[in-house]
Structure 1
Amino acid sequence: MKTIDEINQKIREGTAVVLTADELKARIREGETVTPEKVDVVTTGTFGVMSGTMAVLSFSVAKPGTFQKAEQVLLNGVPAYPGPCPNERNGILDLVVYGTAHRDHRYGGGHLFRDIVAGHVIAVEVVAGEQTLETMITLNQMGLARIIATRMAFRNYHAMINRSVDPIQTIFSVTGLAGPCTEVSVSGCGEINPLENDPERRFIGTGTRVLLNGGTGYVIGEGTRSSQEKPNLSVYGDMKGMNPQMMGGFITSVGPECLTSLAAPIPVLDQAALDPLLVLDAEVNLPIAGINDRTGCAASKYSEVWQGTDHRIQNDPSGCVHCETCRAATLCPTGAISPGAVIDRDRCVNCGTCVQVCPGPAFSGILGAITYEGRQVPITLRQSDRIRGTRLCAELKERIRVGTFSLTRKVDSL
């Protein structure tokens, strides 16, 4: 049996064998027998809509004595909550911003967080008594900027289906989830998800070092609504090391949501550590819930989402039929599409909305279907991006390879 200290020593020496979850699963599918002697670390990851995300920010907006206490604050128009520290008369704001807070239907906390990390100038408006102050701020000027995820990386989230006749406006749809049982919305990265590869949380626990939105973070503990059957995590990380492409905003039929990502290393100490890492999409449960009451009504497997499907949405500008109003551009939940069937790959999360709403052949991608009550119900929206999840695994592998990321022991179990 290996130890984490021994693996960290191999990382320092440059001799550790590190595989991404995607690489390991490919070997399994090819029939290779993988043993603990052949691999030291497997990197896992997930990316998608995760509502339970907030930011804690602290920065100066005025000279001491300018105002007594901030009562209302807007950042690019997104409401922030001053406190809990009042910072009386010192001109400094301590703020909490929810990822689901919003300025309007097209811009919310997730968009703001990405803009902050990207180094964009953020407009600040402060109401303090009879005073209104306006200023500008960037990430480099903030004394503290931290993302806290209260609930993320569910081991296996629900696929959502509408069993009623009328469409339902919901965070699980861009245009409204149609019924009865005519389409399904899915979330989760399946076989590469961190908790799917460490289901007993042997290695992932309080204090585990991870990548949160591409920057170094740490697991706080269990997330809200976590259970033995459907565990999830609470995580925090400094925004100053994050990657804007690994986070952002996502527009649903009821307003903006937040995109958040996580990558975690799993040390392969022995066969018991390796066995869960051998899981494939066909073995990973995908519960199905009715959107009407959010209760489970059936089950599928993640192979229906991620095997035999197109992880990347393709675009062909020559197939654009030049509509007066481009529905793909108007409805793209990340603002990744421009008229003429142009995709900004830095923003596209391969959700499939453009494939559904474009009347021409400009966008294509096989999203698959879920087996429900003996028939195939087409997947029309993916709120997780397997491509970005895989990229996160590769990024973490590279950091381990060059020695800038070492493994930590958890200090408490979940």
Structure 2
Amino acid sequence: MKTIAEIDEKIRNGSAVVYTAAEFKRLVREGAEITAADVDVVTTGTCGVMSGTAAILSVPVAAPGTFERAERAWLNGVPCMPGPCPNERLGLLDLIVSGTAHAGTGYGGGHLFCDIVEGREIEVLAEAADRSVEARVTIDDFSYARLFTTRSAFKNYTAYVNTRPTRVKTIFSIEGLQGPCREVSVSGCGEINPLQNDPARLAIRDGTPVLLNGSIGIVTGEGTRSTPARPNLTVIADMVGMQPRYMGGFKTSAGPECITSLGAAIPVLDDRQAAPLRVLDEEIPLPVAEINTRTVLDEATYADVWQRPDREVTYHPEWCEECSACVAAAICPTAAFSRETGIDRDRCLACGTCVAACTGGACEGALGAVRIRGRRVPITLRQSSRLRAEEICRELKERILDRRFPLTGGGGG
């Protein structure tokens, strides 16, 4: 039995044993019997489409007295909700912006949040009772900018298939989920997910520091739709310090969604905490459900998603057939691909959409398949990035060892 204070002391004197989740799982696969005595901290992470993401922003738009209070507002065309503080006659807007609010089919809250973090100029339009007010601002102008999630780091997700003969528009597809049983859409980072490694929340408690899109924040409690079997979290962090590569927008057939990343450290105090860390992708169930009824049809595992398939997509420009219109570029949900410049790895989620879209095969990646009632159905969309999540785990490990990340509360948010 160890204490957090003892682990902190080992970090200070350089003797702490800190593994990323991927490093820990690799040792388990190699047959190592790791106990709490052998490890002090394991860093976990997830990255993908997380609908329950929003921001609270305080934005100056005009001189005091210009208008009484805003009734409606938009940032880069994305609708916002003025409030909860009216800021009467101060020329300020307090805004709540949903990550799934959108200005059109190709731009939404997730895109806006990334543009804010990148320091881009944001167009503000506010409507008051007697006038409209316009302004241009950057994150340096915001007196308050916090991002929060209402349900992140689901312990595991559900994969979706369409059993009907027509396409179904859904956030789990880019052009509509094809049927009957033509393709499967999957989400989740499996064995490195924070709550998969701490399902009882022995370490990831209310007030625990985490990395939200690379910025130190805190867990404020359970998320919406959280259950003992499928827990998730509510988290908040300052947008200053977030990293654009860990966030962004994601186009779907049902409108833009929001990419969010979360990293959490698990101090290993005893063998009760070590046990979930030994669980591998092969042991983590992935229910497969019918998209129209949400009825579970079968069950795969996360090994079908992350152990056998490729983790990333590659581009071979020499194979490009130079079509008059590049379908792969047009369909890419994160605008990460063009045939001239290839794949922007900072934007690419390795979702695999371009692989099926590129008729010449210049985009390559094996996404795997799952069996549904005996039938092998290909995975055509991954809405989570295992590579990016592993990167978050590595960054969190470095911060812990450099003493730039606290293991207990008081570190941010």
Normalising by structure 2, we get a TM-score of 0.97
The count of corresponding residues between Structure 1 and Structure 2 is 410
8 Å Cα contact 1:203-1:409 kept in structure 2: no
Q: Report Cα offsets for 1:110-158 as digits up to 9, x if no partner.
A: 0000000111111111111221111111111111100010111110110
Return 5+ residue gaps in structure 1 as ranges: none
Code of the residue aligned with 1:191 in structure 2: it is: E
Which residue number corresponds to residue 222 of structure 1? 222
Which residue number corresponds to residue 13 of structure 1? 13
Per-residue deviation, 1:409: 6.2
Distance in 2, matches of 1:309 and 1:319, equals: 22
Per-residue deviation, 1:396: 0.4
Please, what is the CA RMSD of the aligned residues? Answer: 1.1
Question: Equivalent residue of 1:252, what SS?
Answer: coil
Which residue number corresponds to residue 78 of structure 2? 78
Distance in 1, matches of 2:217 and 2:13, equals: 24
Code of the residue aligned with 2:188 in structure 1: it is: G
Which residue number corresponds to residue 343 of structure 1? 343
- Kindly indicate whether residue 393 of structure 2 is the aligned counterpart of residue 393 of structure 1: yes
Per-residue deviation, 1:308: 1.3
Which residue number corresponds to residue 198 of structure 1? 198
Code of the residue aligned with 1:235 in structure 2: it is: V
Per-residue deviation, 1:209: 0.6
Which residue number corresponds to residue 3 of structure 1? 3
Which residue number corresponds to residue 237 of structure 2? 237
Code of the residue aligned with 1:60 in structure 2: it is: P
8 Å Cα contact 1:322-1:340 kept in structure 2: no
8 Å Cα contact 1:185-1:381 kept in structure 2: yes
8 Å Cα contact 2:218-2:409 kept in structure 1: no
Return 5+ residue gaps in structure 2 as ranges: none
Distance in 2, matches of 1:73 and 1:320, equals: 44
Which residue number corresponds to residue 207 of structure 1? 207
Q: Report Cα offsets for 1:188-221 as digits up to 9, x if no partner.
A: 0000000000011111121111000111011111
* 1:2-401 equivalences in 2 (<5 Å): 2-340=2-340, 342-401=342-401
8 Å Cα contact 1:14-1:402 kept in structure 2: no
Q: Report Cα offsets for 1:8-43 as digits up to 9, x if no partner.
A: 122222321110000001111112222222210000
Distance in 2, matches of 1:36 and 1:221, equals: 26
Per-residue deviation, 1:59: 2.2
Distance in 2, matches of 1:153 and 1:277, equals: 16
8 Å Cα contact 1:173-1:253 kept in structure 2: yes
What's the % identity of the aligned pairs?
57
Distance in 2, matches of 1:340 and 1:277, equals: 43
Distance in 1, matches of 2:194 and 2:389, equals: 10
Code of the residue aligned with 1:290 in structure 2: it is: E
Distance in 1, matches of 2:77 and 2:13, equals: 49
Normalising by structure 1, we get a TM-score of 0.97
8 Å Cα contact 1:14-1:403 kept in structure 2: no
Question: Equivalent residue of 2:147, what SS?
Answer: strand
8 Å Cα contact 2:185-2:382 kept in structure 1: yes
Distance 1:331 1:198, change over 3 A: same
Code of the residue aligned with 2:20 in structure 1: it is: T
Distance in 2, matches of 1:145 and 1:3, equals: 35
8 Å Cα contact 1:320-1:341 kept in structure 2: no
Deviates further, 78-87 or 288-297: 288-297
